[in-house]
Amino acid sequence: MQPPARSSPPAAVLLVPGCAGLLALGCLASVLGAGPAQRPVALAFGGLVVLGELTRRTGAEAREAAPLGAAGALAYALLGDVAGQPAHHGVAETVTVVLAASLLGSVPYVARGSGPVLDHLARRVLTVGFAAVCFRPLSNQGVFDDWSGPAYALLLLGLLALTTLCDAVLAAAPAHARTGWPFGPLLREELRGMVGITSAVCATGAVMALAVSVAGLWALPVFSVPLLLAQLSYRRYAAVRATYRQTIASLARATEIAGYTPAGHARRVAGLGVAVGRDLGLSGAELTVLEYAALMHDIGQLSLVDPVPAGATAGLPVTEQRRIALLGGAVVRQTGVDAAVAVVVERQADPCREQPVAARIVRVVNAYDEKARDAGPGGVLTALEELRLATAGDYAPEVVEALARVLSRGSLTEPAAG
């Protein structure tokens, strides 16, 4: 769950698409003037990219939306030979073919209005352009003619590693411009996420380039099958994960339906908690645990005979807060949710110095939402001031300051009235 994007300077947000557009126009003008160097090779790799785009995934969690298209594009950029004959296409042709194929494959998604097509195409153009600039001029000049075996394979993998770093920067920079979240944690999160599907894409791209060098264009369909199967498996995994999250969200609403907590409280705590966690540099897995724990942090109130007025647990005695937290942890463990989520729920009322970071965040954000909701107009500043005054014993100061930074960016609004 991500907070709404804040307003950003247009130049910062449009920097990546603008650079991609300039590169694409320059390459297109060059190719239109000279024509493609090897038409069959361009058509084969272009068709592979089109197929990859047509079968790409959609959704916020799709880190590499079109793995087959990305692998084909990288293989085309790093192609040294075709069945023993030198490949002559240059940087401009590489970028033009990949862009044209990506646009063609994106037509159905544009028609349906689904998916961030502009950002996706901009990153594709710039990453492929980066790889092509690093490899194609030297390859066309015969610099790598004497390279063979493991040395040449390591060269391709090294270039792909640099390309992956470039792609991570291109993904983190627009996110930083749109949301104001710190660039360092965003970049680290992108690099962590690229360990899985992106490393498989890079390895497949390198193998495709090596195989085509030896066996010719017939190698492309052979090496496309593993990525297509992996993509199908990931789709099923993503569907299971989405169902899992919906189940947790439904459980979290139980306290609202029963009248123990105000409507939307759990969702607000989860959304704001994830934003604070991002500001503090939590990883993707840690943010997932934090979100689930925040959604279910009040579930222990279902065990109470007499509901807490307005569900406001922050004002209760510490012993009562801990009792409710332990009851909530026990309920979470019975649902089969990850044990790490139960630990956060159980420890949200412990002394802040003894809590895991996720529990500190849940405690601070829960208290903020309750205090701001009850303070009326200007409740944001009033609630923050109360949390700051209480940080010595109750709330972690670094979490309160992270909350203040998130709110100062204007990424979230004041809590709704109960």
Whether the per-residue pLDDT at 347 is higher than 50: the answer is yes
> Helix, strand, coil: what percent of the chain each, to 5?
70, 0, 25
pLDDT band at 142 (very low <50, low <70, confident <90, very high): confident
Whether the per-residue pLDDT at 1 is higher than 80: the answer is no
Question: What pLDDT sits at residue 58?
Answer: 60
E strand or H helix at 271: helix 265-279
Question: What pLDDT sits at residue 13?
Answer: 65
Separation CA 91–CA 133 (nearest Å): 6
Separation CA 332–CA 24 (nearest Å): 52
Q: pLDDT tens, 14-44?
A: 777 888 889 989 888 888 877 777 888 999 9
Whether the per-residue pLDDT at 61 is higher than 60: the answer is no
pLDDT band at 391 (very low <50, low <70, confident <90, very high): low
Tokens of 224: 């496309």
CA atoms within 13 A on the CB side of 220: 26
Secondary structure (3-state) at 78:
coil
pLDDT band at 9 (very low <50, low <70, confident <90, very high): very low
Q: pLDDT tens, 269-278?
A: 999 999 899 8
Average pLDDT value for residue range 349-355: 83
Determine the residue type at 128.
Answer: V
What is the model's pTM? 0.71
Whether the per-residue pLDDT at 377 is higher than 70: the answer is no
Own/partner contacts of 117-123, CB < 8 Å, gap of 24 or more, are 118/17, 119/16, 119/17, 119/174, 120/65, 120/66, 121/20, 122/16, 122/17, 122/19, 122/20, 122/21, 122/170, 123/16, 123/20, 123/167, 123/170, 123/171
Separation CA 158–CA 165 (nearest Å): 11
Q: pLDDT tens, 95-107?
A: 999 999 988 988 8
pLDDT band at 3 (very low <50, low <70, confident <90, very high): very low
Closest to 163 (Cα-Cα) out of 90, 65, 54, 73: 73
Q: Compute how many other C-beta atoms are within 10 angstroms of the C-beta atom of residue 360.
A: 26
Q: Compute how many other C-beta atoms are within 10 angstroms of the C-beta atom of residue 111.
A: 8
Identify the DSSP state of 65. S
Average pLDDT value for residue range 397-415: 75
Selected residue with higher pLDDT from 365 and 175? 365
Question: What pLDDT sits at residue 2?
Answer: 42
Q: pLDDT tens, 289-336?
A: 999 999 988 888 887 777 777 767 777 788 888 888 888 888 888 877
Secondary structure (3-state) at 141:
coil
pLDDT band at 63 (very low <50, low <70, confident <90, very high): low
Average pLDDT value for residue range 165-182: 80
pLDDT band at 114 (very low <50, low <70, confident <90, very high): low
CA atoms within 13 A on the CB side of 53: 26
